[in-house]
Amino acid sequence: MRDNRITELFNIEHPIVAGGMVWVSGWRLAAAVTNAGGLGLIGAGSMHPDTLREHIARCREAVAGKTFGVNVPLMYPEIETIMNIIAEEHVPVVFTSAGSPKKWTGWLHDRGIKVAHVVSSSLFAAKCEAAGVDAVVAEGFEAGGHNGREETTTMCLVPAVRRATSLPLIAAGGIATGEAWLAAEALGAEGVQVGTRFALTVESSASDEFKRHCLNLGEGDTKLLLKKLSPTRLAPGAFRDAVEAAEAAGASADELRELLGRGRAKQGIFEGNLDEGELEIGQAAALLRGTEPVSAATVVADLVATRRDALNRLTICNH
Amino acid sequence: MRDNRITELFNIEHPIVAGGMVWVSGWRLAAAVTNAGGLGLIGAGSMHPDTLREHIARCREAVAGKTFGVNVPLMYPEIETIMNIIAEEHVPVVFTSAGSPKKWTGWLHDRGIKVAHVVSSSLFAAKCEAAGVDAVVAEGFEAGGHNGREETTTMCLVPAVRRATSLPLIAAGGIATGEAWLAAEALGAEGVQVGTRFALTVESSASDEFKRHCLNLGEGDTKLLLKKLSPTRLAPGAFRDAVEAAEAAGASADELRELLGRGRAKQGIFEGNLDEGELEIGQAAALLRGTEPVSAATVVADLVATRRDALNRLTICNH
């Protein structure tokens, strides 16, 4: 495919971003995606500052000058430390999420760092444009993990964000194949952020137990829960059963917070405790059912090939 | 565009189906869509048998030999009467939903009637194929009104159904523009069923109050509620506030059934009682915000034009 604003902005071959996911996106996954021609992101949300510094150093060494980035949830408790490390280590790209793009965009730009921000509404996309971010990620309801309150799906969100801003636009949520990538382009996106499919590759830091569990999910198996706290899409498991039961009985935000406790995403994703853990994954997992984890490079190549096939199919059908 | 299996199956110009919606899809809307080159459906779900017979007769007269159809929710209490009327009146196409496709498909085929069935999962799509239906409609979470329990979005559902069956495939849910139509084609659909956008045309039987209300919704304004009964996507209003409050407090299915009572969809959609009524509409309404109701023919022409523009954009970007 031709270059577009996303490939030019990040100086990458394919406009494919690997979401920077907690307990999933260490330097191995980020470097593998970058080396395959996409944009790999390290997920700072689950790292202590020293761990992040080490992952950045290893990723930089592994990609030998190619572009990688770090995803930073802006409600991170040690946000200033994290941002200083990112600047000191000359990370070229930061994806921010879960907060206002106003606060850090100028600071990052002053240090030569490109900034994309993740939104779940066109209202926030417009705020991104006002804040001067370089690109916006529109993430729909079908995405795994933390999710917008609006519940707007990728099919409805991407065109709304396309109308609301002139920014380079990356679609996220439900995109695990080249067909979905092409669909996102039809809706107005110039690139895609792929989470679930990269979370289940061999280079992902997630445990084998988590990967196997997610590669056996059917349609309807993930659910968006914890809406009174922060809506989160979860795979089945004993902890999720407890959340569902509590919510059906009208549990308050405080009761849910107590049930959630701390460290559940680590337990579930990283340690593979399918009973006690929080198992964050997107609806697209059902499209991967019955497959084995493959390399991130295989995923990138498959996305490129299946997108091309889908485009050829559309073109042949119409001309 | 070229003919495909959907245009050939129904002998229509454009593979655009207008959903057969309660209190919305009378003969005027169905005939207007059919006369514009799509497939108009009468919504039997809100009609007494005699009313349905009258709408069929008027529609047949208005379309002068072109194809129209009737949507029949299979849990309809007078289903045998309805099906007999459809056969006696020589309706060429029936879309069934909310039930098993096994029961009526053979009966309808014996009478020369083509059958499509609406599903929210690939499991039910496979059952449709086994039942011998002529086409399947895959309807995602973003759709208005009654909705699947799986909450699978159009972006994730259409490719899953595409893999599960070889049937001609119509995508539904979140499709109100040619860009979304093209996205559905990228995902493997051959046609689209459009509900929300046709519900808000001048030929729709919905009240002006309902149309105006829905044409002022923003993203996140519709919500999928009543999940303990039958998940239903609703626009804001006093009745919905009451449902949300009851659900947040853990209301049982029986309590919700009592709160719902009877006739709320008629009140809301047909009579325009925005306080007491059930206001069924899809997420795509937010993409129509601030517009006025236009004719169904204008919608069909706009879908065709915006799809063609989106296809040209994709083709120019890639060749």
Classified as helix, coil or strand, B132 is: coil
Q: Is B121 exposed, middle or buried (0-12, 13-18, 19+ CB in 10 A)?
A: buried
pLDDT digit string, tens, across residues A113-130: 999 999 999 999 999 999
| Tokens representing residue B11 in the block | 């002998």
Q: Do A159 and B180 touch (CB under 8 A)?
A: yes
For residue A225, report the phi and psi dihedrals to the nearest 5 degrees.
-130, -170
Q: Do A220 and B248 touch (CB under 8 A)?
A: no
Q: Do B179 and A185 touch (CB under 8 A)?
A: no
pLDDT at site A316 = 80
Tell me the chain A residues in contact with residue B141 when contact means C-beta distances shorter than 8 Å: 141-142, 153
pLDDT at site B319 = 54
> What is the chain A residue with the closest CA to B124?
A219
Torsion of Cα atoms, A55 then A61 then A66 then A72, to 10°:
10
Surface of A (105-124) touching B: CB under 8 A: 121-123
> What is the chain B residue with the closest CA to A184?
B183
- Cα A76 to Cα A52, A79, A155, A271: the distances in Å are 13, 5, 30, 22
Position B195: which residue type?
A: G
> What is the chain B residue with the closest CA to A308?
B318
The minimal CB distance from B149 to the residues A154, A220, A224 is found for: A220
Tell me the chain B residues in contact with residue A124 when contact means C-beta distances shorter than 8 Å: none
Task: Tell me how far apart the alpha carbons of residues A108 and A274 are, in angstroms, rounded to a whole number.
Answer: 38
Residue A45 to chain B, least CA–CA distance (Å): 26
Secondary structure element (H or E) that encloses residue B119, with its range: strand B114-119
Q: Is A174 on the interface with B (CB under 8 A)?
A: yes
Residue B254 to chain A, least CA–CA distance (Å): 14
Q: Do A180 and B155 touch (CB under 8 A)?
A: yes
The minimal CB distance from A182 to the residues B186, B251, B287 is found for: B186
Q: Looking at the predicted structure, is the pLDDT value of residue A250 above 70? A: yes
pLDDT at site A17 = 98
pLDDT digit string, tens, across residues A140-174: 999 999 999 999 999 999 999 999 999 999 999 99
Q: Looking at the predicted structure, is the pLDDT value of residue A131 above 80? A: yes
| Chain CA centroid to CA B212, Å | 20
Q: Which of A225-239, A305-319, B242-256 has the lowest mean pLDDT?
A: A305-319
Domain boundaries, chain B: 10-204+293-318, 208-285
Q: Do B186 and A188 touch (CB under 8 A)?
A: no
Q: Looking at the predicted structure, is the pLDDT value of residue A319 above 60? A: no
pLDDT digit string, tens, across residues A61-70: 999 999 999 9
pLDDT at site B76 = 87
Surface of A (39-78) touching B: CB under 8 A: none
Residue B67 to chain A, least CA–CA distance (Å): 23
- Cα B201 to Cα A221, B260, B291, B302: the distances in Å are 36, 27, 11, 13
pLDDT at site A76 = 87
Q: Are A11 and A34 in contact (CB under 8 A)?
A: no
Q: Is B179 on the interface with A (CB under 8 A)?
A: yes
Q: Do B141 and A141 touch (CB under 8 A)?
A: yes
Task: Tell me how far apart the alpha carbons of residues A68 and A35 are, in angstroms, rounded to a whole number.
Answer: 9
Q: Are B25 and B58 in contact (CB under 8 A)?
A: no
pLDDT at site A45 = 95
Classified as helix, coil or strand, B56 is: helix
| Chain CA centroid to CA A29, Å | 13
Bridge pairing between strands A114-119 and A93-97: parallel
Surface of A (266-305) touching B: CB under 8 A: 283-284, 286-287
The minimal CB distance from A153 to the residues B153, B218, B223 is found for: B153
Q: Do B156 and A286 touch (CB under 8 A)?
A: yes
Which candidate, B110, B107, B155, B160, places its Cα nearest to that of B136?
B160
| Tokens representing residue B2 in the block | 């070229």
Sheet of strand B232-234, all strands in order from the earlier edge strand to the far edge:
B145-146, B232-234, B223-225
Q: Are B194 and B17 in contact (CB under 8 A)?
A: yes
Q: Are A122 and A160 in contact (CB under 8 A)?
A: yes
| CATH number for the domain running over B10-204+293-318 | 3.20.20.70
| Chain CA centroid to CA B45, Å | 12
Which candidate, B39, B50, B44, B48, places its Cα nearest to that of B21?
B44
Interface test with B, best of A153, A158, A169, A247 (most B CBs within 10 A): A153
The minimal CB distance from A219 to the residues B152, B224, B318 is found for: B152
Task: Tell me how far apart the alpha carbons of residues B191 and B11 are, in angstroms, rounded to a whole number.
Answer: 13
Tell me the chain B residues in contact with residue A161 when contact means C-beta distances shorter than 8 Å: none
> What is the chain B residue with the closest CA to A164?
B287
Q: Is A149 on the interface with B (CB under 8 A)?
A: yes
Q: Is B150 on the interface with A (CB under 8 A)?
A: yes
Tell me the chain B residues in contact with residue A14 when contact means C-beta distances shorter than 8 Å: none
- Cα A105 to Cα A124, A172, A203, B242: the distances in Å are 14, 21, 30, 41
Which candidate, B170, B177, B194, places its Cα nearest to that of B118?
B170
CATH code 3.40.1280.10 for A5-205: no
Secondary structure element (H or E) that encloses residue A264, with its range: helix A264-265
Q: Do A311 and B318 touch (CB under 8 A)?
A: yes
Residue B129 to chain A, least CA–CA distance (Å): 18
Angle, vertex CA A174, rays to CA A169 and CA A179, nearest 5: 80
Q: Do A157 and B219 touch (CB under 8 A)?
A: yes
The minimal CB distance from A283 to the residues B2, B156, B224 is found for: B156
pLDDT at site B98 = 87
List per-residue pLDDT tens for chain B, 319 residues long: 789 999 999 999 999 999 999 999 999 999 999 999 999 999 999 999 999 999 999 999 999 999 999 999 999 889 999 999 999 999 999 999 988 999 999 999 999 999 999 999 999 999 999 999 999 999 999 999 999 999 999 999 999 999 999 999 999 999 999 999 999 999 999 999 999 999 999 999 999 999 999 999 999 999 999 999 999 999 999 999 999 999 999 999 999 999 999 999 999 999 999 999 999 999 999 999 999 999 999 999 999 999 999 999 998 876 5
Q: Which ipTM did the prediction report?
A: 0.97
pLDDT digit string, tens, across residues A181-211: 999 999 999 999 999 999 999 999 999 999 9
